Structure 1
């Protein structure tokens, strides 16, 4: 039996920012991903790796410079605004900063009614639908008559989620939705998103810096470095099965619950993102500890690695990670 078609598919998507006639910054470089129907896919990587740019391209807040974005088999990457409007409601975004994503001059009722008006939903019963949306995200119905500044950060993020749900989407793109919140509130928002995903059958692309949270929340994890997807694998056993040297370096920086064990563990140094990525070969090569351990092979400088199968549902963009003992990958 053929595998079901993903609800969202990215094929060689690139996002380029031009800062002048001769200079260009490739925020996303030929990224390919698939999001299954009803799946939660985590996307992780350090600041500046292109996660947010990819998210904005998916919801078409910006137009990708190359590649294809398929929603239920239809390519929306270069679709004109007139044709895009009926599709846009099906792919909604939850932003990182819940305060700046809400209009401070609009009451919550108007904020949640706006998508209903734009997409022509629930004619004649906007008030009732607003009450239902507030129920969905765990806010009292009287919140509809208040302004964003009257709420806490966690409550504002619930309003942002309710606004995304107002359009009745199939896909939620969540761009660091918990990073601006206290730790205790982060878990509440994650639990809420999980409940909504199960209740509404949503497909969620969840972007975060928090690797342990992503591994617990998502079914699969994709890792980005310098705009490239370098590893995709199931979240079960993520911390032990990850093989790309960049993923291993990120994981080595995550504190362990046991402080004694944490002090014993060797951290893998990861140089900063200064300078441009090499034009040829592996983009991660200038920062790669495995490249140095392997004697700086010329293949890494000359040949760009493709995503290769490393196990069931596991893909890695590295020439040498499968030629090194797992123990080496764990310790660096």
Structure 2
């Protein structure tokens, strides 16, 4: 059995930063994640995608941010159970016993759920014979942008991910990128929409609105996508790859059965104090939680984790008082 002060469910960016904040308070952490390596979505889905809203980093690749967070957590020697999903949680003599899918048991007085979207899978378009082209030109995420060098890329979607990748590929030398969206209103950031239309004006991108992909063609791999406009007209488009970026379908998985208050597939927390759930001693931070005014940003998750750890200390050491010190004063061994 693995015993620790704080058991963190989810080894994404917010989970990793929780280790750092807990370490400043001399609290030991152990992390559980169903993925085979730490980093969450940043590693699993877009390790080579730039992130622009992390303080101190005008731009940082997702994978690089994970490396920095791992280095920041390393001096506090956290434990990891990776490639194994947390299945059950049982309250046991003032602590929580969490058992994974493979049967590994973990015991801790505090559990902090930092599971991002929980388990997730891409939202797939409803097109016949879709599976025939998966990994043969059809991709639901970009793990290595270099794999798409020199290819005729078609991207579908109107959110941030679709626009970000369309802009990224359009700025690189190569064939013109095609962006298709079923509406003329994009959900992405306004600046991204402006950039996309600027690139279209420069001849580096083609944008089709009120259109969608309705069929795919190709004998052994994807070679053609059939676009249909709102008028019903269809036109073939020669492509090497298609990226339907319609977002992810989040699933809480076993956590939905842990007696936590759930609202719209997210865990309800008390944001007025410490992001604790309806079960005392269990906190939820990052994209997995919800409360009035919630923003699903990594930055907000860092803030939530900081406050959650403050309350966790009081649960773990009810007779002790912790005096907050700036890291510039106390320093950190290992850096």
Q: Pick the structure with greater CA Rg.
A: 2
**TM-score with structure 2 length normalisation?**
0.24
Bigger proportion of residues as strand: 2
Q: Which has the higher helix share?
A: 1
